[in-house]
Amino acid sequence: MQYHLNGFRTGDPSVQPEGYVQDAVDVLIVGCGPAGLTLAAQLAAFPEISTRIIERKSGPLEVGQADGIACRSIEMFQAFGFAEKVLKEAYWVNEVAFWRPRPDGNGLHRAERIQDVEDDLSEMPHVILSQARIHDFYLEVMRNSPHRLAPQYNRELIDLNTADGDAYPVAATLKCLDKNDKTETIRARYVVGCDGARSGVRRALGHELKGEAARQLWGVMDVLAVTDFPDIRLKCAIQSAQHGSILIIPREGGYLVRMYIELDALQGDERAADREVTSDMLIAKARAILAPYTLDVKEVAWWSAYEIGQRVCDVFDDVPDDLRDHKTPRIFIAGDACHTHSPKAGQGMNVSMADTFNLGWKLAAVLRGQSSPALLHSYSLERQAKAKELIEFDRDMARLFSAKPKNADEAAQFQSYFKKHGRYTAGVETRYDPSVIVGKDAHQALATGQKIGMRFHSAPVVRLGDGKQMQLGHVLRADGRWRLLAFGGAGDTGQTGSAIARLCDHLATDPSSPILRHTPQAADVDAVIDLRAVFQRPHRDMRLDELPDALLPHKGRFGLIDYEKVFCADPREGADIFDLRGIDRQRGAVLLLRPDQFVADVRPLSDVSGIAAFFDGFMLQH
């Protein structure tokens, strides 16, 4: 954690100095769910961007909704600076148990018990924590930002209009629910609809969620209960012989348990309310499934009859496909507003946050003058493809989960599918197609374990300056910066003439250097592209005073030296980062990382022109 660069400051370093708030609104965010809050937290990091986030409800979420947090989401929380809070409070999903009817038909038995997340899939675990607490953490990030950003509650979006040519072309009409429904208009450069499954922004765009007509009705309840079911503190999928199936998700705090209970399919316009589900019905059903084990529910903390379809929109912005070459987007939709899933795979909250983590840095890059607005097309392209893939996966998963297993074979089928898709539900399988911000695999062989188009896969390293053992991925903060990670080849210690030294010198001094071309004069040298290096040599055998200047940059108003740019492989655990991530030990490699931690490209250390050309593809010159 670095601070004090521009002068020593007392107090909590996560509270940043207060910034200024402009009158005009660059971005209006509609809705304070996980999608809206991720975007607000991201944009709040930039003092020069003004953001407003509105919410129809009268205050923050307190209870209920989603609770599954994938490894990938925690990697992202790390970038926002609150992963350790989630890890502390949450239930950790270490294992999953599968219960099935006993072969003799008498009750249930545990058919299998497996590790939930495979080893080295992520440095982060899969955890369970109330969506409300995730909201709290985002709200805290926003509150601590230079903007002291806070949502405006009691504001309902009721209309949306675009006036081309205007600097603030989108006009949003809001109903002020705490002021006798008085209306108010906000003008914005961009509007992002994070307004959930019944999105008004989606409606204003004329988009539709497409998918199956039948929607599954699920009962979900968070309970405090006494039971003799032995795996009540493990995630369990339980399929009974007669009464359907249940998913048990132990919750944070050691006592609370969530149960997902499958109810019926809804048809056409039928709504969950029509079924008149009650919590007593859910409890009765849960007891029937769990029998002969007992279930004595002492308190129902929250329950819901939650209807769900596997649906997705064709486009996530306001640009019709045939106008992509002529028009750049002004209005976006994200999260449940453009795709919905069954709760089974625990993806709703995670994918919604990933949507706006993808969008946030792009909006920031355009608004800060780093990129042209054409960059914004990539949001719908990248995330719509991801959502479609997820819907398909989710549909299969839900179908398998609902099908009463006729025999051991069928039941086993579900388990094997579940295992196979562990990587998928962990959120680390997302892969974006080649584009201006994703390279074409030409040099993938230099870093086989860091797939172009996928998220950077962290591994342990030692920081040279202070000898700290740490995860390399944890330097990738949600700060809108691109990163160049240069991995040294054999014998490279940064000494004059080495490949790393030559790359650094080029980046620091050559007029064609992307760092020089794209960084504003007054900004720190790493403000737009953050150069870091990883060497193979053990850190005690390295010499700091041998390093190229670019790896010990002077920054801030005092010109202080940043000592946190250089890392060494950590041999202590056997395999080091070069082994773990398949980085070419002979030749080294440069990884180009996007601000959302995705690997944009892999290049040879000597390929300075290729690197420059990549950035020229979407960044503006300063």
Ligand X SMILES: Cc1cc2nc3c(=O)[nH]c(=O)nc-3n(C[C@H](O)[C@H](O)[C@H](O)COP(=O)(O)OP(=O)(O)OC[C@H]3O[C@@H](n4cnc5c(N)ncnc54)[C@H](O)[C@@H]3O)c2cc1C
Query: What is the contact surface with a copy of itself in residues (CB under 8 A)?
Result: 1-5, 7-8, 10-13, 62-63, 84-85, 87-89, 91-92, 94-95, 113, 130, 132-133, 136, 222, 224-228, 230-234, 250-256, 298-299, 301-302, 465-469, 540, 543-545, 554, 558-564
* Secondary structure class of 353 (helix, strand, coil): helix
Q: Which stretch binds ligand X (CB under 6 A): 102-110, 335-343, 423-431, 582-590?
A: 335-343
The catalytic position among 34, 52, 56, 67 is 67
Residue 234 near which of ligand X, a copy of itself, none (CB within 5-8 Å, type-dependent): a copy of itself
275 part of the interface to ligand X, by CB under 6 A: no
Mark 179-200 as b/e (b = at least 16 C-beta within 10 Å).
eeeeeeebbbbbbbbbbbbebb
- The CA–CA distances, whole Å, from 535 to 348, 540, 593 equal 39, 12, 18
- For residue 53 the two structure tokens come to 């986030």
Question: What does DSSP assign to residue 19?
Answer: -
156 part of the interface to ligand X, by CB under 6 A: yes
d(CA 98, CA 107): 14
The residue to which tokens 């950003």 are assigned:
149
Of the CA atoms within 13 Å of residue 358, those in its CB half-sphere come to: 33
d(CA 254, CA 33): 26
Identity of the residue, 102 or 554, whose beta carbon is nearer to a copy of itself in the bound complex: 554
Do strands 235-239 and 95-101 pair parallel, antiparallel, or not at all (unpaired)? parallel
- Provide, rounded to whole angstroms, the least separation between the CB of residue 175 and ligand X: 8
Candidates 19, 21, 57, 622: give the one binding ligand X (CB under 6 A): 57
Is 260 catalytic? The answer is yes
- Provide, rounded to whole angstroms, the least separation between the CB of residue 182 and ligand X: 15
217 touches 264 (CB < 8 A): yes
- Provide, rounded to whole angstroms, the least separation between the CB of residue 247 and ligand X: 10
The residue to which tokens 């909006």 are assigned:
363
Residue 168 near which of a copy of itself, ligand X, none (CB within 5-8 Å, type-dependent): none
- Provide, rounded to whole angstroms, the least separation between the CB of residue 503 and ligand X: 41
Is 541 catalytic? The answer is no
Identity of the residue, 386 or 565, whose beta carbon is nearer to a copy of itself in the bound complex: 565
Return the HEC string of 200-235: HHHHHHCCCCEECCCEEEEEEEEEEEEECCCCCCCE
d(CA 558, CA 266): 65
User: Which residues in 61-80 contact ligand X (CB under 6 A)?
Assistant: 64-66, 68
- Binding mask of the shown chain, residues 98 to 137, with x at each position contacting ligand X by CB under 6 A: ---------------------------------x------
200 touches 191 (CB < 8 A): no
The catalytic position among 251, 463, 483, 517 is 251
Distance from the first to the final alpha carbon of the chain: 29
User: Which residues in 33-52 contact ligand X (CB under 6 A)?
Assistant: 33-36
- For residue 47 the two structure tokens come to 């003092």
- The CA–CA distances, whole Å, from 306 to 134, 214, 351, 443, 455 equal 20, 13, 18, 46, 32
Candidates 219, 250, 329, 343: give the one binding ligand X (CB under 6 A): 343
User: Which residues in 563-592 contact ligand X (CB under 6 A)?
Assistant: none
- Provide, rounded to whole angstroms, the least separation between the CB of residue 71 and a copy of itself: 15
The catalytic position among 343, 514, 548, 604 is 343
Identity of the residue, 144 or 216, whose beta carbon is nearer to a copy of itself in the bound complex: 144
User: Which residues in 159-198 contact ligand X (CB under 6 A)?
Assistant: 194-196
| Bridge partner list, 551 | none
Alpha helices in 57-114 (DSSP H): 71-80, 83-89
Is 320 catalytic? The answer is no
The catalytic position among 91, 138, 190, 260 is 260
Identity of the residue, 225 or 528, whose beta carbon is nearer to ligand X in the bound complex: 225
Residues 6+ apart with CB under 8 A from 514: 507, 529, 611, 612, 614, 615, 616, 619
Residue 220 near which of a copy of itself, ligand X, none (CB within 5-8 Å, type-dependent): ligand X
d(CA 427, CA 122): 10
475 part of the interface to ligand X, by CB under 6 A: no
The residue to which tokens 């960084």 are assigned:
519
Residue 210 near which of a copy of itself, ligand X, none (CB within 5-8 Å, type-dependent): none
In one letter, which amino acid is 120?
D
Q: For residue 91, which phi and psi values (nearest 5 degrees)?
A: -80, 135
- Provide, rounded to whole angstroms, the least separation between the CB of residue 598 and a copy of itself: 25
- Provide, rounded to whole angstroms, the least separation between the CB of residue 288 and a copy of itself: 21
472 part of the interface to ligand X, by CB under 6 A: no
Q: Which stretch binds ligand X (CB under 6 A): 348-356, 361-369, 410-418, 555-563?
A: 348-356
- Binding mask of the shown chain, residues 277 to 316, with x at each position contacting ligand X by CB under 6 A: ---------------------------x-x----------
Identity of the residue, 91 or 190, whose beta carbon is nearer to a copy of itself in the bound complex: 91
Identity of the residue, 377 or 565, whose beta carbon is nearer to a copy of itself in the bound complex: 565
Identity of the residue, 302 or 417, whose beta carbon is nearer to a copy of itself in the bound complex: 302
**Which of 514, 511, 513, 551 minimizes the C-alpha distance to 531?**
551
Do strands 566-569 and 91-92 pair parallel, antiparallel, or not at all (unpaired)? unpaired
Largest CA distance in the chain: 77
Identity of the residue, 356 or 450, whose beta carbon is nearer to ligand X in the bound complex: 356
d(CA 299, CA 256): 9
- Rounded to 5 degrees, what angle do the CA atoms 242, 246, 248 make? 145
CB atoms within 10 A of CB 154: 18
The residue to which tokens 């008498």 are assigned:
106
Identity of the residue, 4 or 109, whose beta carbon is nearer to ligand X in the bound complex: 4
Candidates 352, 358, 513, 519: give the one binding ligand X (CB under 6 A): 352
219 part of the interface to ligand X, by CB under 6 A: no
Is 195 catalytic? The answer is no
- Provide, rounded to whole angstroms, the least separation between the CB of residue 468 and a copy of itself: 5
Residue 616 near which of ligand X, a copy of itself, none (CB within 5-8 Å, type-dependent): none
Identity of the residue, 306 or 432, whose beta carbon is nearer to ligand X in the bound complex: 306
* Secondary structure class of 249 (helix, strand, coil): strand
Identity of the residue, 141 or 550, whose beta carbon is nearer to ligand X in the bound complex: 141
**Which residues are marked as active site?**
67, 251, 260, 343
Which residues bind to ligand X, rule: CB under 6 A? 30-36, 54-57, 64-66, 68, 131, 156-157, 194-196, 200, 220, 304, 306, 335-337, 343, 346, 348-349, 352
